[in-house]
Structure 1
Amino acid sequence: MCVLLVEDEPLIREIMAESLEDAGFAVIQASTGDEAISVIRADMTTITALVTDFHMPGTADGGDVAHCIRQKWPNMPVVIASGRPDAMKTSWQEEHGYHLLRKPYGPRQLIGVLREIAGAT
């Protein structure tokens, strides 16, 4: 499984990327939603799951990134992480099948969610 990991906090991104790699996942990192959308549009067909922070600087938030990846790959597993899930559309989980992950979360929790998603696809 190759995960596109989108997180604007460098330390969190590095810890999660390293933990995912140690668990056997390939990881492509992006520091903003805008950068992630550029990666998605570059047609990198190796991506098999998206993990994105919701609130990020720039013009694209995690919802925009999730929408972009699902336009290209409609069945792509998507995990959206937020420390303020109340500010997100709660209907996303049912409407789009996005998995919502509350911050703070640890590497084991993220790995567990991704393994669950991988088993469901």
Structure 2
Amino acid sequence: MLTSWDGILPIEGAVIVVEDDDTLRSVMTEILTDMGARCIAFVTADDALMHMLSATDTNALVVADHGVPGQIKGAEFLSMVAQRWPGLPSILTSGYELGAYVVPEGTVYLQKPWSIDVLVIAIAELLQPGLPVRRS
């Protein structure tokens, strides 16, 4: 993909991506990798949560689709993440319109289909609030 973005600071820590669609998971991890992030991707929130609970490294961001398979849906997963790791930025995506009551407080919601620009700007605003981002 190799998109160039001005004004994005290096991303410290891993970005957890939870998406069951192979193509979208690949696109998200490629975008984040192009932004300088180290991504760890999962198909289910169950697996992502188990990884996060056992990992010793820090995470910079969590991006989760709501409608993933498994016992834990995306919004519930992000609520658990917020309780265990307060202040960890998060993005919830869904192909369905979700009511505000479903989206955890402080989580950015992106309804699919989102554009690359929208995703990158959401990530940048969460990780470096107040700093402008331009596509070059």
User: Which residue pairs with 1:59 in the alignment?
Assistant: 71
The answer to whether the Cα contact below 8 Å between 2:43 and 2:69 also exists between their aligned partners in 1 is: no
Q: Which runs of 5+ in 2 are unaligned?
A: 1-10, 131-136
Which AA in structure 2 matches 1:69? Answer: V
Task: Give aligned-pair identity as a percent.
Answer: 27
Higher-helix-fraction structure: 1
| Superposed structure 1 runs of 4+ greater than 4 Å apart | none
User: Which aligned pairs between 1:70-81 and structure 2 lie closer than 5 A?
Assistant: 70-81=82-93
Cα RMSD, aligned residues only: 1.9
TM-score by length of 2: 0.78
User: Which residue pairs with 1:98 in the alignment?
Assistant: 107
Q: Provide Cα deviations, 1:63-107, integer angstroms capped at 9, x if missing partner.
A: 121022112211111100011123xx40355x6211110101133
TM-score by length of 1: 0.86
Q: Which runs of 5+ in 1 are unaligned?
A: none
User: Which residue pairs with 1:113 in the alignment?
Assistant: 122
Flag the 1:32–1:67 CA change in 2: closer, same or farther, 3 A: same
Q: Provide Cα deviations, 1:48-75, integer angstroms capped at 9, x if missing partner.
A: 1111000111111001210221122111
